[in-house]
Chain A
């Protein structure tokens, strides 16, 4: 790794950790209903929303009511997105006159955006009208993120409250997440992106004269090019902040109108992990012990840094095949060196590899480089980060509640090892919590593995694997299902995924990965909230110490490795061995 890469990565992590506390404590205030500086402006808006929609803001829901509200709201959102896609041809704000989207693609995209996965089987600029992008996709960008945050907050209340039933009000949590956190941050970020050249317009696509004419495959001279534009900046902001990742344009954040400069690149990367990192602090603050939040944040950061290191090293080391072709891969002041296949020159090795780790650590999934072109181990990094369960930062809200499932398992085993019925934050961890936490860990693994298995033995699945004759095609399928089954949405690409088989199969994975996890999370919250709080003593296992962090990292890595090493061995690992034979 070069000094330059090292400096960029360190700078990134330092800024991220510095922002965690102020934003985290602000969010804690929002969720605890305390006074914030935005109250004067947003308070009336909030009350207006409740009045219009008939929400009783002081009504406390038990976990079942909360879960029903979450699911109903999400299914309605899913149906709306489906309907808008199917009907966009009749709706306004469609300057290109784009037609209705196929049912399987519409289903896939609807689930994808409702479940905060934002897997994209379609290409934005050739498929979706401005209205579809704004009204259905972008609305889901906000509310799917807010759903994750609400569910997390409900779980935190399970730890905070005791001997009661209520875990909060979903409608209030949803509204406050959107209004006080996502919306203001998005406005600021959108303006900053526009300043860097990210487009924001309702005008139709622009036809421009090329500076230098080119000839196409048929030998015709091409002098003009159509530039797709649209209301992109507003969508990019929440796409990153809400760990959505669904790009406005097909090539996502590699597109200059979506991610124009190294500065916009840094801003976008920062905003991907900003809320997931800050929520750790919110958690600590709300449970009354900030150290608990820091411990989790440090756990995430350590795993994250290790994988960034692997990715950057692997990409910078270059490709032996290129060496044979006489391509210069040595890094100098003017040559980024390493494996530049599929990478934007304005981002280079470090920022492409860093982005790959950031976007898959969080369940974001936006890309600024072609992951399919990464070196085998470089590609293993984003794949494995997803397979860990999207808990290294993870999605907004969902990352932390997924991580808490691992914390519960880690606490359980370590609690036994010190000879006590395990407890976390004063709540006893018993059979019910174990059952639900096991489900939360099990379901994504099951979906990813079974989905991949079906794809690689059925004709429909095999039909669009174009990389035959080696382990790479297998990696592509494994990556796609790992992405969908963990609600990431990142694509390795290379695989033809916009067809009925993959649209349906990946859609099913996304759906169950999201909602079959939310229900157990809320069930844990409902169980914990009824329990007494056990006061800590020296016999209580401290869960904020370096020792516990090491143990938690061990549990996460062991579960992840044991679940996926056989599959990875047949994909990136064997590919790596073959490349470096």
Chain B
């Protein structure tokens, strides 16, 4: 999204302001009850506030200022948690607003009947509001029009500005048929015209789904989040029981010891709030929203939080070779001449045959001949040695070769089988070393092109897939993370194997058809694995629907985008790797903060227990080795620490725990050291510092 990268600061202030307001509106118990941990804190806040009012009237169970301070900080605890959620939502809301602008009602030129050209379409148009369009209606858009709805192009070819959706300002070409036939509502036609069939009713279009996703309005708790909530609720119940039973225990102890007063409700509530996992409970929903947000920042729209979560679990990645593993184009890397032919002659012939060939492969042949043999790329008539009267023969599907004719000489280059036929039909023998050369190239993962002059074989050009730089290291990292990579390609097995080896993927599927992809996914899933894949074509749709994490390219067809559970607005297949990392980060952040939250309790016990029973068993003060000033300052410091730590961890919740591609065991060790051990130590320091501050400010 452009909004994300553009001027975040102006949005920043608005987000903060709105978040502060929302922290209060979210206090509504009906909202709070969705989060059992924070709901308990809110109930505790109400209770202590009531006790404070009682104390104001003069019936207080403890010092009024103390009860008031506890009540205040409990409210802060709730507000901080709400704030974290609001701030996470805020970012999405800002994006949703700009998307919504694109979705506003626009006039639509609806067609009363089918049409396939501009003339007949124009005669049938009636202008209606975009909201009146229904699925399967036809409409016409012309230069300058805003697309009124999502749809599939029926006729026409045009350039479209999709920046409202993708943030990419370069126009894209959309045309009927093929894999670029989908248009999105809210985009603008820059040239020509299109006749489009509506693919989604109003309110259900791609843009609408995006808005509801980024807004978090339709955000449902993901399976893992539910499981974690259950665990947190379990802890909350345990601590409720611990605190509730402490009152009778204390009453008994007062009797048995013959001194002191029973523990106050205020202290019990304070203890409860300190013990229940408020840190993770308060930040849980912010973590989930931020996970989606990080996807959006990378221009990936996830259709559900479940998909983001599943991304972290993926253990098989199906990657299309072209564009993901290799650069889109093959390049010439070698000339192999047959016996009796000078390799320079071969290079020259190849260059001549490719002069008019504007494909990247063709250009790479010209360049290679120049680099290796100093042969100038001679365009027609540009050089003296260029033979006059060149006649170029372009590649066609029928001949499956291309070349040049001049001075009665014919040069052709093409695939081995067609070229062999050509050579033989010309009455020439196929040189015995031609076939081994072809096979050698295929074995290396390259594509052989045979060059023939006057139907006599000169040799072979080695066209090679160029594996993207750094991709091998990326796959090695994935392997460490326990993720298997599978390359999908239409190449023959020999070529596929060679590229697979070069790129370092774990497995490959050669000569892949959509059916084979689907079958492969099902096989992996039957083995208990979670599969992720990318796709763009309509024929990818079944496999996308079957995969656990399916990323459709935004340039892809409507069926592909519908079948997927994520859409990559950049249409960059390598994005899958980042998506996996974001998914993992999401889970890790939850795990780390849960550990941190529970580990914190140890220190809080040392602060509160001696303080709570100071009057009954003063000797328990031995356990107060933090040397907190007074019982009241000890309890208050613990409560304040508990509230402040939520604010302190909001950045971590939003950013996520950093992920490194190492094995599970090492990750666990590192995170346990940081969040487990750290979670035990930090509160000792924090509580002591707050206590010192309270004393310093004479607040106690």
Give A194 to B379 CA distance when docked, in angstroms. Answer: 110
A449 surroundings in chain B (CB, below 8 A): 241-242, 245
CB of B602 closer than 8 Å to a CB of A: yes
Give a binary string over A232-256; 1 marks a CB under 8 Å from any B CB, 0 the rest. Answer: 0000000000000000000000000
- Say which residue of B252, B528, B588, B599 sits within 8 Å of A416 (CB atoms): B588
A443 to chain B, nearest CB (A): 10
Query: Could you tell me if A578 and B239 are in contact, using CB atoms closer than 8 angstroms?
Result: no
CB of A45 closer than 8 Å to a CB of B: no
A533 surroundings in chain B (CB, below 8 A): 528
B242 surroundings in chain A (CB, below 8 A): 449, 562-563, 566-567
Query: Could you tell me if B227 and A431 are in contact, using CB atoms closer than 8 angstroms?
Result: yes
CB of B178 closer than 8 Å to a CB of A: no
CB of B668 closer than 8 Å to a CB of A: yes
Give A415 to B233 CA distance when docked, in angstroms. Answer: 19
A559 surroundings in chain B (CB, below 8 A): 238
Query: Could you tell me if B257 and A545 are in contact, using CB atoms closer than 8 angstroms?
Result: no
A545 surroundings in chain B (CB, below 8 A): 665
Query: Could you tell me if B599 and A537 are in contact, using CB atoms closer than 8 angstroms?
Result: no
Query: Could you tell me if A558 and B591 are in contact, using CB atoms closer than 8 angstroms?
Result: no
Give A573 to B528 CA distance when docked, in angstroms. Answer: 50
B609 surroundings in chain A (CB, below 8 A): 565-566, 569
A562 surroundings in chain B (CB, below 8 A): 238-239, 242, 275, 598, 601-602, 605
With A417-B588, A438-B230, A535-B529 as given contacts, are A565 and B249 in contact (CB-CB < 8 Å)? Answer: no
With A431-B226, A538-B482 as given contacts, are A471 and B253 in contact (CB-CB < 8 Å)? Answer: yes
Give a binary string over A341-359; 1 marks a CB under 8 Å from any B CB, 0 the rest. Answer: 0000000000000000000
With A431-B226, A469-B258, A574-B617 as given contacts, are A539 and B588 in contact (CB-CB < 8 Å)? Answer: no
Query: Could you tell me if A577 and B619 are in contact, using CB atoms closer than 8 angstroms?
Result: yes
Give a binary string over A513-550; 1 marks a CB under 8 Å from any B CB, 0 the rest. Answer: 00000000000000000001111011111100101100
With A453-B249, A542-B665 as given contacts, are A558 and B599 in contact (CB-CB < 8 Å)? Answer: yes
Query: Could you tell me if B241 and A558 are in contact, using CB atoms closer than 8 angstroms?
Result: no
Query: Could you tell me if B223 and A431 are in contact, using CB atoms closer than 8 angstroms?
Result: yes
B239 to chain A, nearest CB (A): 7
Interface size, chain B (Cβ < 8 Å): 78
B622 surroundings in chain A (CB, below 8 A): 577
Q: Residue on B with the closest CB to A577?
A: B619
A350 to chain B, nearest CB (A): 29
- Say which residue of B237, B246, B590, B676 sits within 8 Å of A554 (CB atoms): B676
Give A471 to B619 CA distance when docked, in angstroms. Answer: 12
Query: Could you tell me if B605 and A565 are in contact, using CB atoms closer than 8 angstroms?
Result: yes
A360 to chain B, nearest CB (A): 21
With A430-B227, A538-B480, A577-B622 as given contacts, are A417 and B528 in contact (CB-CB < 8 Å)? Answer: no
B483 surroundings in chain A (CB, below 8 A): 537, 539
Query: Could you tell me if B481 and A434 are in contact, using CB atoms closer than 8 angstroms?
Result: no
A450 surroundings in chain B (CB, below 8 A): 241, 245
With A445-B238, A450-B245, A533-B528 as given contacts, are A420 and B664 in contact (CB-CB < 8 Å)? Answer: yes
**Residues of B578-635 contacting chain A, CB below 8 A:** 583-588, 590-592, 594-595, 598-599, 601-602, 605, 609, 612-613, 617, 619-620, 622-623
B98 surroundings in chain A (CB, below 8 A): none
CB of A91 closer than 8 Å to a CB of B: no
Give A559 to B275 CA distance when docked, in angstroms. Answer: 12
With A431-B223, A539-B664 as given contacts, are A558 and B602 in contact (CB-CB < 8 Å)? Answer: yes
Interface residues on A, range: 35 or more
CB of B672 closer than 8 Å to a CB of A: yes
Give A468 to B256 CA distance when docked, in angstroms. Answer: 6
CB of A452 closer than 8 Å to a CB of B: yes
Q: Residue on A with the closest CB to B672?
A: A551
B226 surroundings in chain A (CB, below 8 A): 431
Q: Residue on B with the closest CB to A554?
A: B676
Could you say which of A36-44, A101-109, A272-280, A406-414 contacts chain B?
Answer: A406-414
With A430-B223, A438-B230 as given contacts, are A469 and B256 in contact (CB-CB < 8 Å)? Answer: yes
**Residues of A412-447 contacting chain B, CB below 8 A:** 412-421, 426, 429-431, 433-435, 438-439, 441-442, 445-446
CB of A570 closer than 8 Å to a CB of B: yes
Give A567 to B250 CA distance when docked, in angstroms. Answer: 9
Query: Could you tell me if B613 and A417 are in contact, using CB atoms closer than 8 angstroms?
Result: no
Query: Could you tell me if B249 and A470 are in contact, using CB atoms closer than 8 angstroms?
Result: no
- Output the residue of B231, B529, B620 with the most chain A CB within 10 A: B231
**Residues of A132-177 contacting chain B, CB below 8 A:** none
B304 surroundings in chain A (CB, below 8 A): none
Query: Could you tell me if A453 and B248 are in contact, using CB atoms closer than 8 angstroms?
Result: yes
Give a binary string over A306-337; 1 marks a CB under 8 Å from any B CB, 0 the rest. Answer: 00000000000000000000000000000000
- Say which residue of B256, B605, B623 sits within 8 Å of A473 (CB atoms): B256
Query: Could you tell me if B617 and A570 are in contact, using CB atoms closer than 8 angstroms?
Result: yes
Give A561 to B623 CA distance when docked, in angstroms. Answer: 15
- Output the residue of A547, A570, A578 with the most chain B CB within 10 A: A570
A570 surroundings in chain B (CB, below 8 A): 249-250, 252-253, 613, 617
A566 to chain B, nearest CB (A): 5
Query: Could you tell me if B481 and A474 are in contact, using CB atoms closer than 8 angstroms?
Result: no
CB of B234 closer than 8 Å to a CB of A: yes
Give A474 to B526 CA distance when docked, in angstroms. Answer: 57
- Say which residue of A414, A439, A539, A569 sits within 8 Å of B591 (CB atoms): A414
Query: Could you tell me if B238 and A563 are in contact, using CB atoms closer than 8 angstroms?
Result: yes
Give A355 to B575 CA distance when docked, in angstroms. Answer: 61
Give A567 to B238 CA distance when docked, in angstroms. Answer: 13
- Say which residue of A430, A456, A469 sits within 8 Å of B249 (CB atoms): A456
B116 to chain A, nearest CB (A): 50
**Residues of B138-167 contacting chain A, CB below 8 A:** none
B529 surroundings in chain A (CB, below 8 A): 534-535
**Residues of B266-300 contacting chain A, CB below 8 A:** 271, 275
A574 surroundings in chain B (CB, below 8 A): 613, 617, 619-620
Query: Could you tell me if B313 and A421 are in contact, using CB atoms closer than 8 angstroms?
Result: yes
Query: Could you tell me if A547 and B237 are in contact, using CB atoms closer than 8 angstroms?
Result: no
With A419-B587, A541-B668 as given contacts, are A442 and B234 in contact (CB-CB < 8 Å)? Answer: yes
A563 surroundings in chain B (CB, below 8 A): 238, 242
Query: Could you tell me if A452 and B601 are in contact, using CB atoms closer than 8 angstroms?
Result: no
Query: Could you tell me if A540 and B256 are in contact, using CB atoms closer than 8 angstroms?
Result: no
With A474-B256, A537-B315, A540-B664 as given contacts, are A419 and B595 in contact (CB-CB < 8 Å)? Answer: no
Q: Residue on A with the closest CB to B243?
A: A566
A417 surroundings in chain B (CB, below 8 A): 588, 591-592, 595, 667-668, 671-672, 675
B624 to chain A, nearest CB (A): 12
CB of A459 closer than 8 Å to a CB of B: no
A452 surroundings in chain B (CB, below 8 A): 245, 248-249
Give A231 to B582 CA distance when docked, in angstroms. Answer: 68
Q: Residue on B with the closest CB to A559?
A: B238
Query: Could you tell me if B584 and A420 are in contact, using CB atoms closer than 8 angstroms?
Result: yes
B602 surroundings in chain A (CB, below 8 A): 558, 561-562
Q: Residue on A with the closest CB to B670?
A: A417
Apart from A457-B252, A558-B601, what 5 extra A-B contacts exist at CB < 8 Å? Answer: A417-B595, A471-B257, A538-B481, A562-B602, A566-B612
23 contacts between A and B (CB under 8 A): A417-B592, A417-B675, A419-B586, A419-B659, A431-B226, A434-B234, A449-B242, A452-B248, A454-B248, A456-B251, A468-B256, A470-B257, A538-B480, A538-B482, A539-B664, A548-B668, A551-B676, A561-B605, A565-B605, A569-B609, A573-B620, A574-B620, A577-B620
The 6 closest A-B pairs by CB, nearest first: A539-B482, A416-B591, A419-B584, A438-B234, A537-B482, A417-B591
Interface residues of A, Cβ cutoff 8 Å to B: 409, 412-421, 426, 429-431, 433-435, 438-439, 441-442, 445-446, 449-450, 452-454, 456-457, 462, 468-471, 473-474, 532-535, 537-542, 545, 547-548, 551, 554, 558-559, 561-563, 565-567, 569-570, 573-574, 577-578, 581
Interface residues of B, Cβ cutoff 8 Å to A: 223-224, 226-228, 230-231, 233-234, 237-239, 241-242, 244-253, 256-258, 271, 275, 309, 312-313, 315, 479-484, 526-529, 583-588, 590-592, 594-595, 598-599, 601-602, 605, 609, 612-613, 617, 619-620, 622-623, 659, 663-665, 667-669, 671-672, 675-676
